[in-house]
Amino acid sequence: AQSVSQHNHHVILSEAASLELGCNYSYGGTVNLFWYVQYPGQHLQLLLKYFSGDPLVKGIKGFEAEFIKSKFSFNLRKPSVQWSDTAEYFCAVNGGGSYIPTFGRGTSLIVHP
């Protein structure tokens, strides 16, 4: 079965610290990769996505993610986090022959001012 793993379930950082959230998937073949964010009290929204081209993808609010095919990974990064980045982050994947998007269990990020 296709699966998506987010190894960091809870991350606590101070403002200006660098962030990297891991995401690994088990699909073979062509995949489409997404990071979604849910800020407190708000809807789930797309942060960035990759489906072809440059494996380094830039999203909103200074976030970026790198697709490394050989490692089946799509890690999310931000060089300097802000208090407003406090949120739940979800990695999602579709492809590998399936249209069904599979989400990871999410990473809760808390940024202390």
What are the residues binding another protein (CB under 8 A)? 4, 32, 43-46, 49, 51, 90, 92, 94-95, 99-106
Query: Min. distance of Cβ 65 from another protein in angstroms?
Result: 15
Query: Min. distance of Cβ 24 from another protein in angstroms?
Result: 14
Contact 111, 82 (CB under 8 A): yes
The 8-class DSSP code of residue 80 comes to S
The pairing of strands 107-112 and 10-14 is parallel
Task: Give me the half-sphere count of Cα atoms (radius 13 Å) on the Cβ side of residue 59.
Answer: 20
Measured from the CB atom, the residue of 39 and 83 that comes closer to another protein is 39
The 8-class DSSP code of residue 45 comes to E
Query: Min. distance of Cβ 69 from another protein in angstroms?
Result: 17
Measured from the CB atom, the residue of 17 and 96 that comes closer to another protein is 96
Query: Min. distance of Cβ 111 from another protein in angstroms?
Result: 21
Contact 47, 37 (CB under 8 A): yes
Measured from the CB atom, the residue of 102 and 111 that comes closer to another protein is 102
Contact 93, 86 (CB under 8 A): no
Measured from the CB atom, the residue of 23 and 81 that comes closer to another protein is 23
